[in-house]
């Protein structure tokens, strides 16, 4: 019942792997990317309903990735997920076109709900 295809981007593999597993279990087809470049490659290869992007990453950070996605893959809604929260960061993310801004550790149900809402927005 793979009704939804998600791109999950985070440099912490320890976070990436279990989260992807949990989402997959709930019917979300999940592609994991450990960096911005990897994410862009994935985006080039297939269509996604939603992307969950960590803000703070070595190399290309989440905001830069967000900028690229809104430019080159405007149809993919982006949820920012970060452990480093500040209002400025949140505001900036929203200005750049993020769908939502979530703070780690996020309650799994909240994450799931947000992803579904984002995907619903896309299909609408």
Name the residues that contact another protein, by CB under 8 A.
12, 14-15, 18-19, 21-22, 25, 56, 83-89, 103-108
Specify the residue, 21 or 121, whose C-beta has the smaller distance to another protein: 21
Separation CA 5–CA 26 (nearest Å): 12
Residues whose CB falls within 8 Å of the CB of residue 25, separated by 6 or more in sequence, listed in order: none
Residue 53 to residue 92: CA distance in whole angstroms = 14
Is residue 50 within 8 Å of 4, Cβ to Cβ? yes
- Please report how close the Cβ of residue 98 comes to another protein at its closest, in angstroms: 17
Smallest gap from Cβ 48 to another protein, in A, equals 20
Beta carbon nearer to another protein, 8 or 51: 8
CB of 55 to another protein, least distance (A): 10
């Amino acid at each position: 019942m793979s009704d939804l295809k998600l791109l999950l981007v985070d440099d912490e593999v320890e976070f990436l792997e279990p989260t992807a597993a949990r989402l997959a279990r709930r019917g979300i087809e999940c592609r994991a990317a450990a960096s911005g470049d990897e994410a862009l490659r994935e985006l080039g290869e297939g269509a996604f309903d939603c992307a969950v992007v960590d803000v703070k990453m070595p190399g290309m950070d989440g905001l830069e990735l967000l900028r690229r996605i809104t430019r080159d893959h405007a149809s993919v809604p982006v949820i920012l997920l970060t452990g480093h929260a500040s209002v400025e960061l949140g505001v900036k993310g929203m200005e750049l076109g993020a769908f939502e801004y979530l703070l780690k550790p996020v309650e799994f149900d909240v994450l799931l709900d947000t992803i579904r809402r984002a995907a619903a927005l896309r299909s609408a």
